[in-house]
């Protein structure tokens, strides 16, 4: 690989040497990396890639840091129009599959299969596809945080690891009432976030043939409970009812302000909470509450992929492969305080840089949640059309919360929406 | 100066004479218009044509060659309703919710906009103290970016916002304004009126100042009451300006998007989702991106706007013709 790059660079240098008017910088093979960050991930990637550039003179990797919204909304259109970057950090893992560069001809398949195992499927086109498309850089798990200080002040016992949603709701209400806290519970406005609790309530999301159904009795049961909690004030109404469309909204600020007892979000908030809460109050990861279908959160996260329109597929593959090497991956995980998706990095443990006691405890607590993730949750995360299902969920559940539709009507609409989406995407 | 221009003219003269001989004087005009026509065609006509092509094709692919021809299916989907008065009975209920919201919004917003603009213009046309200052104050919001307008009012109206703090200080009951569908809609109307009223006030003020003073002096000599002077002199003479304001406000109101999108995001639920936001969400922010459906909706909207623009042109022509 290195030889190929060196040869290409040498050829480019020769061409430049023969063309006096072409500036020296034109010899560099420019690779554009579109990156969005909810922490320091892009900075960390840039640091790691400096090592790649040093080892591969002539390759210039430019990390374009963009808002997350640009990755969600602009990148797919750029890719469809053939004007996308060479590499990007994406979260719609299966949804952009058609644009991915298959890295398998350029990388050590055994190493990748051994290191990233199941997460490779999230980037694939289906069960018959054995290509290698993406390095899962940020494994996330959805679940809950509590404001431990409020529990202590209220003298309410923190429910145990097997506690149900009802028990958590009851405890949170008791704490909010005793301490005068504005909101007992809140959940991010996201179809991904509500999926874990719905699976815990027995939602199967797919039929026996693996086709998406979204709505079933388990799903409806959780949505009904969720809507009821909004009506009785258990859930912070501002998060879901305060927005239109399928826009994302989190409740992180309310938690940071100490206005929230129980916050259902995910592992990616650890860095933010560690940095901004400090010793303002004690916080704790409590994972996902239980229901008849288990105690599951949703896996997810972001990954680094190359695109098949790139003019430099070998270099793109080499860059991603470089990031996937154990020492580089461990560095990325430590610097960004994420849960590793790399088997060897996970098993050897990560020394999180500058992480405080609570942050280290939180990261370990999240890592301990991985075994309890339901297979349905993995299937949902790996399904290429999951973003459409997330959007349908957010829009229809919000309508039920604000009273535009009853829960039954909202669920019927969700079924119809899904059928329409399936019809459109198969055209 | 002439010494510089003359040689330049001679340089141009040769190809111009050739072009005139070759194409004739009538066709020469097209040669001059060509650069502009190319630009206009590229950035105005081509997108319109593409919009029609997308509206007649289906699927979620942005590339035209990968989109199957579906004829009028997108229009059929949008208009499939058991009752147009009940969005829940429609195949695309969000589209009809957006239509209903837009109709109600336009009716209220344009009514308040024209009414308040007229009232403000009448007051600012009087010989009041600090008139120049007040004229600037009413025009100031027009200069603000729509997103700034939305954020200012969001901060005022949020749970711990300025309005609730004021109500609380006065011992009155607070309210989470933007979580209530009716209040969110009402504040959306208020916000857009506040933001754009200054522009229409300025037009009406110009209209008022164009009314000759001697007509009022004659009415005064005839002992006409102020109300009679207003209804029999001001309103009839201001009517052409009022019509222009009405049509401009109407078109702008139908196109409302940015302020409300930043203000409420279209929520709660779909309470403040208007037609442009529906098109944006369907074509660009949704998953999958239904370009065909969004294009069909935008063509339907364009038809309404063309009708409104036609009315404006007709009014202008009638005014010019006297």
Nearest Cα residue to A166 out of B87, A174, B138, A195: A174
Neighboring chain A residues of B97 at a CB cutoff of 8 Å: 404
Residues A158 and A46 in one domain: no
Q: How many domains does chain A have?
A: 2
Residues A40 and A164 in one domain: no
Per-residue pLDDT band at A427 (split at 50, 70, 90): low
Contact in structure between B92 and B80 (CB atoms under 8 Å):
yes
- Give me the pLDDT at residue B91, please: 93
- Give me the pLDDT at residue B320, please: 62
Nearest Cα residue to B285 out of A77, A123, A413, A189: A77
- For A239, which residue in chain B has the nearest alpha carbon? B179
Binary contact (B268, A244; C-beta < 8 A):
yes
The count of residues in chain A is: 427
Residues A164 and A285 in one domain: yes
- Give me the pLDDT at residue A2, please: 41
Please state the domain extents for chain B. 95-321
Residues A374 and A254 in one domain: yes
Binary contact (A399, B270; C-beta < 8 A):
yes
B272 vs A: CB within 8 A: yes
From the list B62, B88, B267, which residue is nearest A243 (CB)?
B267
Within 10 A of B199 (CB to CB), how many other CB atoms are there?
Answer: 20
Residues A37 and A185 in one domain: no
Cα–Cα–Cα angle for A25, A26, A30, rounded to 5 degrees:
90
Neighboring chain A residues of B102 at a CB cutoff of 8 Å: none
Report the half-sphere exposure of A364 (CA within 13 A, side-chain side).
11
- Digit-coded pLDDT (tens) for A149-198: 999 999 999 999 899 999 999 999 999 999 999 999 999 999 999 999 99
Q: Is the pLDDT of residue A22 over 70?
A: no
Per-residue pLDDT band at A24 (split at 50, 70, 90): very low
Q: How far apart are the first and last CA of chain B?
A: 45
A83 vs B: CB within 8 A: no
Give, in order, the Cα–Cα distances in Å from A80 to each of A76, A135, A386, B63, B266: 6, 22, 19, 7, 28
Backbone angles phi, psi at B155, to 5 degrees: -65, -35
Distance separating alpha carbons of residues B208 and B198, to the nearest angstrom: 15
Distance separating alpha carbons of residues A70 and A79, to the nearest angstrom: 12
Residues A291 and A306 in one domain: no
- For B281, which residue in chain A has the nearest alpha carbon? A245
Contact in structure between A169 and A301 (CB atoms under 8 Å):
no
A80 vs B: CB within 8 A: yes
Mean pLDDT of chain A: 89
- Digit-coded pLDDT (tens) for B278-290: 999 999 888 888 9
- Digit-coded pLDDT (tens) for B208-246: 999 999 999 999 999 999 999 999 999 999 998 998 899
Distance separating alpha carbons of residues B170 and A22, to the nearest angstrom: 72
Tokens of B168: 């609380």
- For B77, which residue in chain A has the nearest alpha carbon? A420
Residues A278 and A151 in one domain: yes
CA dihedral A164, A166, A167, A168 (to 10 degrees): 90
**Which residue matches tokens 């909470």?**
A273
Neighboring chain B residues of A385 at a CB cutoff of 8 Å: 288
Binary contact (A427, B70; C-beta < 8 A):
yes
Binary contact (B264, A388; C-beta < 8 A):
no
DSSP readout, B27-72?
HHHHHHHHHHHHHHIIIIIHHHHHHHHHHTB-SS-SSGGGS-B-TT
Per-residue pLDDT band at A90 (split at 50, 70, 90): very high
Binary contact (A244, B267; C-beta < 8 A):
yes
Report the half-sphere exposure of B283 (CA within 13 A, side-chain side).
19
B15 or A142: which leads in pLDDT: A142
- Give me the pLDDT at residue A7, please: 43
Contact in structure between A377 and A299 (CB atoms under 8 Å):
yes
A25 or A418: which leads in pLDDT: A418
A24 or A412: which leads in pLDDT: A412
Instruction: Provide the percentage of residues in chain A whose pLDDT is more than 70.
Output: 93
Chains A, B: CB contacts within 8 A come to 98
Residues A71 and A150 in one domain: no
Q: What is the CATH number of the domain that holds A406?
A: 3.40.190.10
Nearest Cα residue to A66 out of A32, A24, A117, A17: A32
From the list A81, A95, A245, which residue is nearest B281 (CB)?
A245
Tally of helices (H runs) and strands (E runs) in chain A = 19, 8
Contact in structure between B53 and B44 (CB atoms under 8 Å):
no
- Give me the pLDDT at residue A89, please: 96
Residue-number span of the structural domain to which A71 is assigned:
2-139+301-357
Binary contact (B285, A73; C-beta < 8 A):
yes
Distance separating alpha carbons of residues A15 and A56, to the nearest angstrom: 18
> Could you tell me which residues are beta bridge partners of residue A59?
A29
Within 10 A of A189 (CB to CB), how many other CB atoms are there?
Answer: 25
**Omega of the bond prior to A346 within 30 degrees of 0, cis?**
no
Per-residue pLDDT band at B82 (split at 50, 70, 90): very high
Strands A29-35, A59-65: parallel, antiparallel or unpaired by DSSP?
parallel
From chain B residues 73-102, the ones with a CB under 8 A of any chain A CB are 88, 93-94, 97
- The maximal CA–CA distance of chain B, rounded, in angstroms, is 86
Distance separating alpha carbons of residues A384 and A373, to the nearest angstrom: 19
Contacts of residues A218-221 at CB distance under 8 Å and 24 or more positions apart, as own/partner, are: A218/A292, A218/A293, A219/A411, A220/A407, A220/A408, A220/A411
Tell if the pTM clears 0.90, that is, is over it.
Answer: no
Distance separating alpha carbons of residues A147 and A140, to the nearest angstrom: 21
- B95-321 under CATH 1.10.10.10, yes or no: no
Mean pLDDT of chain B: 91
- Give me the pLDDT at residue B61, please: 85
- Digit-coded pLDDT (tens) for A348-398: 878 887 788 888 889 888 988 888 889 999 999 988 889 999 999 999 999
A367 or B99: which leads in pLDDT: B99
Nearest Cα of chain A lies from the Cα of B236 at a distance, in angstroms, of: 44
Residues A63 and A197 in one domain: no
């Amino acid at each position: 690989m290195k030889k190929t790059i060196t040869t290409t660079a040498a050829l480019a240098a020769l061409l430049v040497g023969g063309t006096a008017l072409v500036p020296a910088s034109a010899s560099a093979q420019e690779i554009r990396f579109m990156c969005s960050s909810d922490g320091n991930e892009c900075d960390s990637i840039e640091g790691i890639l400096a090592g790649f550039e040093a080892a591969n003179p002539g390759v210039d990797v430019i990390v374009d840091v963009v808002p997350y919204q640009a990755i969600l909304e602009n990148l797919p259109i750029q890719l469809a129009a053939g004007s996308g970057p060479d590499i990007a950090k994406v979260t719609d893992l299966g949804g952009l599959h058609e644009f991915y560069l298959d890295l398998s001809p350029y990388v050590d398949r055994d190493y990748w299969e051994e290191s990233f195992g199941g997460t490779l499927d999230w980037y694939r086109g289906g069960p018959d596809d054995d290509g290698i498309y993406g390095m899962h850089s940020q494994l996330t798990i959805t679940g809950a945080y509590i404001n431990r200080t409020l529990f202590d002040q209220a003298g309410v016992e923190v429910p145990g690891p097997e506690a149900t949603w009802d028990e958590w709701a009851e405890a949170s209400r008791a704490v909010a009432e005793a301490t005068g806290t504005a909101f007992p519970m809140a959940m991010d406005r996201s179809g991904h976030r509500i999926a874990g609790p719905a699976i815990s309530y027995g939602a199967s999301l797919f039929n026996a043939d693996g086709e998406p159904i979204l709505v079933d009795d388990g799903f409806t049961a959780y949505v009904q409970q969720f809507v009821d909690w909004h009506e009785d004030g258990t859930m912070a109404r501002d998060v879901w009812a305060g927005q239109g469309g399928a826009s994302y909204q989190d409740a992180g600020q309310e938690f940071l302000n100490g206005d929230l007892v129980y916050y259902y979000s995910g592992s990616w908030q650890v860095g933010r909470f560690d940095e901004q809460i400090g010793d303002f109050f004690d916080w704790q990861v409590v994972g996902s509450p239980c229901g008849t279908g288990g105690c599951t959160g949703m896996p997810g996260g972001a990954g680094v992929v190359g695109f098949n329109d790139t003019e430099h597929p070998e270099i793109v593959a080499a860059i991603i492969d470089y990031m996937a090497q154990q020492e580089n991956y461990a560095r990325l995980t430590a610097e960004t305080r994420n849960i590793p998706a790399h088997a060897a990095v996970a098993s050897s443990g990560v020394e999180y840089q500058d992480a405080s006691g609570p942050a280290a405890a939180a990261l370990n607590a999240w890592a301990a949640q991985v075994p309890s993730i339901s297979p349905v949750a993995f299937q949902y995360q790996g399904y290429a059309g999951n973003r459409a299902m997330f959007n349908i969920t957010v829009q229809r559940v919000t309508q039920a919360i604000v009273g535009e539709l009853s829960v039954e009507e909202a669920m019927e609409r969700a079924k119809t929406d899904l059928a329409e989406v399936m019809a459109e995407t198969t055209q | 100066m002439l010494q510089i221009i003359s040689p330049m003219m001679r340089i141009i003269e040769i190809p111009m004479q050739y072009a005139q001989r070759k194409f004739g004087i009538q066709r020469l005009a097209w040669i001059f218009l060509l650069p502009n026509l190319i630009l206009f065609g590229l950035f105005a006509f081509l997108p319109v044509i593409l919009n029609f092509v997308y509206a007649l094709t289906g699927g979620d692919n942005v590339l035209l060659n990968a989109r199957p021809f579906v004829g009028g299916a997108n229009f059929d989907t949008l208009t499939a309703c058991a009752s147009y008065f009940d969005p829940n009975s429609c195949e695309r209920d969000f589209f009809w919710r957006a239509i209903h919201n837009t109709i109600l919004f336009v009716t209220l917003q344009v009514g308040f906009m024209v009414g308040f603009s007229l009232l403000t213009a009448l007051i600012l046309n009087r010989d009041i103290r600090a008139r120049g200052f007040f004229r600037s104050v009413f025009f100031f919001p027009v200069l603000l970016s729509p997103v700034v307008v939305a954020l200012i009012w969001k901060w005022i109206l949020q749970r711990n916002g300025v309005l609730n703090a004021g109500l609380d200080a006065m011992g009155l009951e607070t309210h989470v304004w933007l979580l209530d569908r009716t209040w969110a809609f009402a504040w959306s109307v208020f916000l857009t009126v506040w933001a754009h009223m200054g522009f229409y006030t300025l037009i009406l003020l110009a209209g008022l100042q164009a009314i000759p003073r001697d007509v009022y002096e004659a009415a005064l000599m005839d002992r006409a009451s102020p109300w009679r002077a207003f209804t029999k002199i001001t309103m009839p003479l201001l009517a052409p300006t009022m019509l222009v304001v009405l049509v401009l406000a109407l078109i702008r109101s139908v196109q409302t998007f940015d302020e409300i999108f930043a203000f409420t995001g279209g929520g709660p639920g779909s309470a403040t989702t208007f037609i442009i936001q529906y098109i944006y969400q369907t074509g660009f922010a949704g998953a999958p991106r239904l370009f065909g459906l969004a294009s069909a909706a935008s063509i339907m909207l364009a038809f309404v706007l063309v009708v409104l623009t036609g009315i404006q042109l007709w009014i202008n022509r009638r005014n010019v013709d006297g």
